[in-house]
Amino acid sequence: MKTLVALLALLFFQFSFGQAYSGKGDVKFQVGANFQNNGTGIMGSLDFGLGENISVGVASAYLLGVEKVRDLEGNETPFAKFDDRFDLKARFNANLGNVINVDENFDIYPGLYASLKNFGGHLGARYFFTSGFGVFTEVSVPISKYNTDSLTPAEKLHNQVSVNVGASFNI
């Protein structure tokens, strides 16, 4: 019985120190799955806290599950090219967890990004179970595409709404 009480107390103590965003100097690494029309893949991001509610970072995604794409002539190719599958973003986040004040382990962060394909916005949320581990979800929406011509299906990859889900780590 003493062991059970000690274990529960330790778990409670550990969970009480999971903080979603701590401000200047905070570093978050996220890795997860990227879902969008005609492709699924992996993504990663790294964010650096600059102030109480501001962070900047980089994010990248690579689509693995692209079976076939069509070019403008209607020809099918078995795989999209690397430059169609890959995207790199510079991003800015407004971390609003302490403003909304739902739970100190919860953070919601709207933001803007500039990528190799477009300029857009994102809305994300993360919840930390411990001081080092949590989960996140994020929705990205392109606002302005760099290529204003008619896009091929391969060019539409990373130029559409996408959803990311995965694990978040405090570094």
pLDDT over threshold 80, residue 37: yes
Q: Per CATH, which fold does 2-170 belong to?
A: Porin (2.40.160)
pTM of the predicted model as reported, rounded to 2 decimal places: 0.79
Q: Which of 3-7, 80-84, 130-134 has the lowest mean pLDDT?
A: 3-7
Would you say residue 92 has pLDDT above 50?
A: yes
Q: How many CB atoms lie within 10 A of CB 107?
A: 29
User: Residue 46 is encoded by which pair of tokens?
Assistant: 């790294």
**Taking a C-beta distance cutoff of 8 angstroms, is the pair 167, 136 a contact?**
yes
User: Domain segments of the chain: what residues?
Assistant: 2-170
- 110's CB contacts (< 8 A; 6+ apart) are 93, 94, 96, 121, 122, 123, 124
42-51, 81-90, 137-146, 147-156: least confidently modelled range: 147-156
First vs last Cα of the chain: how many Å apart? Answer: 36
Q: Which two tokens stand for residue 96?
A: 């609003």
pLDDT range class, residue 168, cuts 50, 70, 90: very high
Query: Model confidence over 96-110: pLDDT tens digits?
Result: 988 988 888 999 999
